[in-house]
């Protein structure tokens, strides 16, 4: 693939991830789940786990980076996504910072990139 195609793919993936970020910050579960593929494994568990986390924590800041993007075919891509999170525990108001890196598999569904699967990896 050409550098232009790779840049375009990165932009498209970042656009979907920025919607995911907004959904996290606003605690909008419908918007949050809309970024996940309908074939995402344990989709209901993902939803329940997210709501449970939101009950305990508020995100005060959330930033992501996308790298190592690999186009498999026009409808499938893999990228490494690192999330940097500042959270506040609702009960104690304690602040903490953390980061998580995932290998994310994206699939195109109805013209939009969706998260098909993800696994945590070492940064």
Tell me the pLDDT tens digit for each residue of 103-117: 999 999 999 999 999
pLDDT of amino acid 49: 97
C-alpha to C-alpha distance for 81 and 104, rounded to whole angstroms: 7
Q: What is the DSSP letter of 93?
A: -
- Exposure on the CB side of residue 24, measured as CA atoms within 13 A: 23
* pTM for the predicted model, two decimal places: 0.92
**CB within 8 Å of 58: residues ≥ 6 apart:** 87, 88, 90
pLDDT (0 to 100) of residue 2: 81
Task: Give the three-state DSSP class for 40.
Answer: coil
Sequence-separated (6 or more) residues with CB below 8 Å from residue 62: 21, 24, 25, 83, 84, 85, 86
């Amino acid at each position: 693939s050409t550098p232009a195609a790779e840049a375009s793919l990165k932009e498209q993936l970042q656009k979907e991830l920025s919607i995911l970020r907004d959904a996290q910050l606003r605690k909008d579960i419908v918007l949050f789940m809309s970024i996940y593929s309908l074939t995402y494994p344990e989709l209901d568990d993902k939803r329940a786990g997210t709501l449970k986390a939101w009950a305990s924590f508020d995100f005060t800041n959330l930033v992501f980076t996308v790298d190592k993007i690999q186009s498999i075919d026009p409808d499938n891509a893999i990228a490494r996504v690192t999330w940097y999170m500042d959270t506040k525990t609702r009960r104690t108001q304690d602040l903490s910072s953390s980061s998580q890196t995932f290998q994310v598999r994206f699939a195109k569904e109805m013209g939009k990139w969706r998260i098909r699967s993800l696994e945590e990896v070492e940064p």
